[in-house]
Amino acid sequence: MIWELEKEQDKSKIKTLQDQLNVSKLVSTLLLNRGIDTFEKAKNFFRPSLSDLHDPFLMQDMQKAVDRIQEAIKGNEKILVFGDYDVDGTTSVALVSSFLNKHIRDTVLTYIPDRYSEGYGISMKSIEFAESNNIKLIIALDCGIQALDQVEYAREKKIDFIICDHHTPSNEIPKAIAVLNPLREDCNYPYKALCGCGIGFKLIQGLNTIIGNTIDDIKEYLDIVALAIAADIVALTGENRTLCYYGLEQINKSPRSGLKAIIDTLEKETITINELSFYLGPRINAAGRMDSGSLAVELLTEEDLEKAIGLAEKLNQLNIERRMLDKETTQQAIDQIKKNKDEETSATVVYNPDWHKGVIGIAASKLMETYYRPTIVFTFSNDLLVGSARSVNGYNVHTAIEKCKEFVVEFGGHKYAAGIKINKTQLKNFKTKFQEVVSSTIDKSMTSKKVDLEGEIELEEITPKFYRILKQFAPFGPGNKTPIFSAKNLRDTGYAKVVGKDNTHLKFNLTQQNSSKIYNAIGFGLAGKYPNILNKKIFTAAFTVDENYWKGRESIQLKVIDIKN
Question: pLDDT tens for residues 64-111?
Answer: 999 999 999 999 999 999 999 999 999 999 999 999 998 887 789 999
User: Which segments within 315-398 are labelled E, that is strand?
Assistant: 348-351, 375-381, 384-390
| pLDDT at position 427 | 98
Query: In the chain, where does the domain assigned CATH 2.40.50.460 lie?
Result: 450-564
Q: Which strands form 417-422's sheet, in the order they lie side by side?
A: 348-351, 375-381, 384-390, 417-422, 410-413
State mean pLDDT over 242-253: 98
| Residues whose CB is less than 8 angstroms from the CB of residue 23 and which lie 6 or more positions away in sequence, other chains included | 17, 469
pLDDT in tens, 304-348: 999 999 999 999 999 999 999 999 999 999 999 999 999 999 999
**Is the model's pLDDT at 9 over the cut of 90?**
yes
> 450-564 domain in CATH 3.20.20.70?
no
State mean pLDDT over 541-546: 97
**pLDDT class of 17 with cuts at 50, 70, 90:** very high
**Is the model's pLDDT at 514 over the cut of 90?**
no
Query: In the chain, where does the domain assigned CATH 3.90.1640.30 lie?
Result: 56-255+268-298
| pLDDT at position 493 | 93
Helix (H) / strand (E) element for 27: namely helix 25-33
State mean pLDDT over 512-527: 93
Question: How many residues make up the chain in this entry?
Answer: 565
Tell me which CATH code domain 56-255+268-298 carries.
3.90.1640.30
Q: 467-476: long-range contacts at Cβ-Cβ below 8 A with a sequence spacing of 24 or more?
A: 467/545, 467/547, 467/556, 469/23, 469/27, 470/27, 470/545, 472/46, 473/30, 474/272, 474/273, 475/226, 475/230, 475/236, 475/241, 475/244, 475/245, 475/248, 475/272, 475/273, 476/236, 476/273
**pLDDT class of 365 with cuts at 50, 70, 90:** very high
> 340-447 domain in CATH 3.30.70.60?
no
| pLDDT at position 420 | 96
Whole-number average pLDDT of the chain? 95
**Is the model's pLDDT at 142 over the cut of 90?**
yes
**pLDDT class of 555 with cuts at 50, 70, 90:** confident
Burial class (CB in 10 A: 0-12, 13-18, 19+), 278: exposed
Query: In the chain, where does the domain assigned CATH 3.10.310.30 lie?
Result: 340-447
State mean pLDDT over 226-239: 95
190 and 222 in contact (C-beta within 8 Å)? no
107 and 76 in contact (C-beta within 8 Å)? yes
**Is the model's pLDDT at 42 over the cut of 90?**
yes
| pLDDT at position 544 | 98
Write the single-letter amino acid at 139: I
| pLDDT at position 414 | 85
